[in-house]
Amino acid sequence: MSKEQFHFETKLIHNQHSVDKETGAVSTPIHHTSTFHQFDLDEFGKYDYARSGNPTRDVLEETIAELEGGVRGLAFSSGMAAISTAFMLLSKGDHVLIAEDVYGGTFRLVSQVLQRFGVDYDFVDTTNLEEVKQKLRPNTKVIYIETPSNPVLKITDIKAVCEIAKENNCYTFVDNTFLTPSLQKPLELGADVVLHSATKFISGHSDVVAGLAVAKDKELGDQLAFLQNTFGAVLGVQDCWLVLRGLKTLHVRMKESQQTAFELAKYLEEIPEVKKVYYPGLDNHEGREIHFSQSSGAGAVLSFVLEDVDAVREFVNAVEIPVFAVSLGAVESILSYPTKMSHAAMPEEERYKRGIEDGLLRLSAGLENTEDLIKDFNQAFQHIRKATKKKETNLAVDRGAL
Ligand SMILES: *Cc1c(COP(=O)(O)O)cnc(C)c1O
C-alpha cells in the first residue's frame, strides 16, 4: 500500500517526512542554523542560507503541500505574512476582487497598503456569483475568498468562483484557515493558492503565530518561493516544529471540536435569549448545500446573537470555561466579540451591513467536554435573565409602577 492511498488522518502521521531520513528520528529535528557550510567551491549543497531554505522548514512546507494537494508549500512568520507575500504576485495596475467579509488584516492590507502600490480593489459579496462577474475587470488578477467567512459563516461556491476566474484569466486565492485541509481542499476545487493562518486550527494550541501558503502548480510555487525569500518573512525553526507537532492531531481535534460546535449550535438555537445562530451544520444555514458539496464538515466555529451589548457583557462576565480572546482554533474554546475585536476598526454602518450586530459573539469550540460547556453556558444565561429582570424592575420603579 503506497502512502498516497492513506486517508487524511493517517497521512498526518505517516507521510514522506514521518521519519528523519538521516537519523531515523520520529520527531523532526530542529536545525538551528542560519547558514550552511559549503564543502565545495564550485558545487554548493542543497542549503546555503537559512532564509532561503532550512531542513526543518522544508519538512513543514512539503507536508502542508501534500496535505492540501498542491505542489509547493511555504511557511511564513504569520498568516498575514503568508497573505501579504502572496499579494506580492500582483503588479502596479492590477485589480483584486476580494470578499467583503474577509479577515480584518487582509482588508487592511488591500485597502491601506496595496493601493499605495497602484493595485486597485473592489470588495464584493462572493456568495453572489452575478456580483462577482459584474465587478470583474479586464485587469483583475486575483479573486480572493474565505469560506465559511468570519464571523457570520457565509458560504461561497469555491468551484464556481474558480471557473469565473479561469474564464477571465485570473487566479483564485482561498484563505482556508477556518476549515483546514482536514475538511476542505480548495486546490482540488480549482483554486490556485491556499493560504492559512497556521496560528489557528493547524497548530491548534494557542502557542505559535504562523502562516502557510500552498500553490497548485510549479510555476506559481516557484514565484511564491522567490517572493518568500525576497520578502523574508519566514517561519523560525522552533515554530515550524510546533506547527508540525500540532498538525499530527489536526484531524482528531477538528472532528471533536466540530461535534461540540454542532451540539452547542443546536443547544443555542433553543435558548430564548439567543436571537440567531450561525453555523453551517444547522439545517437552516444559508448556503449549507453548497458548503457540504465542497467540504466534509461544518467546522468548529459558530456565532450567535444576543439581545444587545448589555447581554453580551453579562454573558462574557459569567462564562467560566471559554477564554475570552482574539483568535480561534485551539484546544481551549475561545469566545470573541467581533464588534470590539476583529471588526473594531470597521465603521458601524459597514459592520451592520455584514450582519455583525452589537449582540454578536463568536465561539470557536475547543476540546472540553460538551456537557461542561453547556452547563457553563446555562449558568451564564441565568445571569442574563437575572440582569434583565433587575433592569425591568428598576425601570418599573423609575416609572413609579412599583
Ligand atoms: C487569524 C487569521 C488570519 C491572520 O493570521 P495571523 O496568523 O494572525 O497573521 C488570516 N485569516 C484568517 C481567516 C484568520 O482567522
- Which CATH number characterizes residue 369's domain? 3.90.1150.10
User: Which residue did the predictor score with more confidence, 169 or 394?
Assistant: 169
Question: Quick one: pLDDT band at residue 397, thresholds 50, 70, 90?
Answer: confident
DSSP 299-339: -SEEEEE-SSHHHHHHHHHH--SSEE-S---SSS-EEE-TT
Whether residue 200 has its Cβ less than 6 Å from ligand 1: yes
Nearest residue to 143 (alpha-carbon basis) of 114, 122, 117, 113:
122
Residues 184 and 150 in one domain: yes
Exposure string for 65-96, b = 16+ CB within 10 A, e = fewer? bbbbebbbbbbbbbbbbbbbbbbbbbeeebbb
- If you search the block for the grid coordinates 493517517, which residue do you land on? 10
> Would the pLDDT of 4 be above 80?
no
| Ligand 1 pocket mutation, candidates 103, 144, 243, criterion most atoms within 8 A of CB | 103
> Would the pLDDT of 166 be above 90?
yes
User: Do 321 and 372 touch, CB atoms closer than 8 A?
Assistant: yes
Whether residue 301 has its Cβ less than 6 Å from ligand 1: no
Residues 264 and 115 in one domain: no
Residues 282 and 373 in one domain: yes
CA of 80 to the centre of ligand 1 (A): 6
> Would the pLDDT of 1 be above 90?
no
CA of 99 to the centre of ligand 1 (A): 15
> Would the pLDDT of 59 be above 80?
yes
What is the mean predicted confidence (pLDDT) over 56-81? 98
β-bridge partners, 76: 211, 234
How many domains does the chain fold into?
2
pLDDT for position 204: 98
Identify the domain boundary among 212, 247, 282. Answer: 247
User: Which residue did the predictor score with more confidence, 298 or 343?
Assistant: 298
Alpha helices in 98-217 (DSSP H): 104-108, 129-135, 158-167, 180-183
Domain CATH number, residue 124: 3.40.640.10
* Nearest atom, ligand 1, residue 328 CA: 15
CA of 78 to the centre of ligand 1 (A): 8
Residues 29 and 7 in one domain: yes
Identify the domain boundary among 188, 216, 247. Answer: 247
Coil vs helix vs strand at 398: helix
Question: Nearest 5 degrees, angle CA 16-CA 21-CA 23?
Answer: 140
Rounded to the nearest integer, the mean pLDDT of the chain is: 96
Residues 260 and 316 in one domain: yes
pLDDT for position 118: 96
User: Catalytic site residues?
Assistant: 51, 103, 175, 200
Tell whether omega for the bond before 148 is within 30 degrees of 0, i.e. cis.
yes
What is the mean predicted confidence (pLDDT) over 67-71? 98
pLDDT for position 256: 98
Residues 124 and 182 in one domain: yes
Whether residue 103 has its Cβ less than 6 Å from ligand 1: yes
pLDDT for position 41: 95
> Would the pLDDT of 32 be above 90?
yes
> Would the pLDDT of 402 be above 70?
no
User: Do 335 and 316 touch, CB atoms closer than 8 A?
Assistant: yes
What is the mean predicted confidence (pLDDT) over 157-166? 98
Nearest CA to ligand 1 atom 7: 79
Q: Are strands 120-124 and 95-99 parallel, antiparallel or unpaired?
A: parallel
Nearest CA to ligand 1 atom 14: 197
What is the domain extent for residue 392? 251-401
pLDDT for position 195: 98
Determine the Cα–Cα distance for residues 364 and 95; give it in Å rounded to an integer.
33
Residues 274 and 381 in one domain: yes
Burial class (CB in 10 A: 0-12, 13-18, 19+), 34: exposed
Whether residue 233 has its Cβ less than 6 Å from ligand 1: no
Question: Quick one: pLDDT band at residue 295, thresholds 50, 70, 90?
Answer: very high
User: Do 254 and 296 touch, CB atoms closer than 8 A?
Assistant: no
Residues 233 and 264 in one domain: no
| Ligand 1 pocket mutation, candidates 200, 206, 209, 341, criterion most atoms within 8 A of CB | 200
Taking only the tens place, the pLDDT of each residue in 189-216 is 999 999 999 999 999 999 999 999 999 9
CA of 143 to the centre of ligand 1 (A): 18
Taking only the tens place, the pLDDT of each residue in 345-360 is 778 888 898 899 999 9
> Would the pLDDT of 380 be above 80?
yes
Residues 123 and 182 in one domain: yes
Least confident piece of the model among 108-112, 211-215, 222-226, 272-276: 108-112
Whether residue 209 has its Cβ less than 6 Å from ligand 1: yes
Residues 227 and 131 in one domain: yes
CA of 385 to the centre of ligand 1 (A): 35
What is the mean predicted confidence (pLDDT) over 105-133? 95
Residues 270 and 241 in one domain: no
User: Do 297 and 258 touch, CB atoms closer than 8 A?
Assistant: yes
Taking only the tens place, the pLDDT of each residue in 278-287 is 999 999 999 9
> Would the pLDDT of 394 be above 90?
no
Identify the domain boundary among 223, 247, 271. Answer: 247
Residues 276 and 353 in one domain: yes
> Would the pLDDT of 395 be above 90?
no
CA dihedral 285, 290, 295, 297 (to 10 degrees): 20
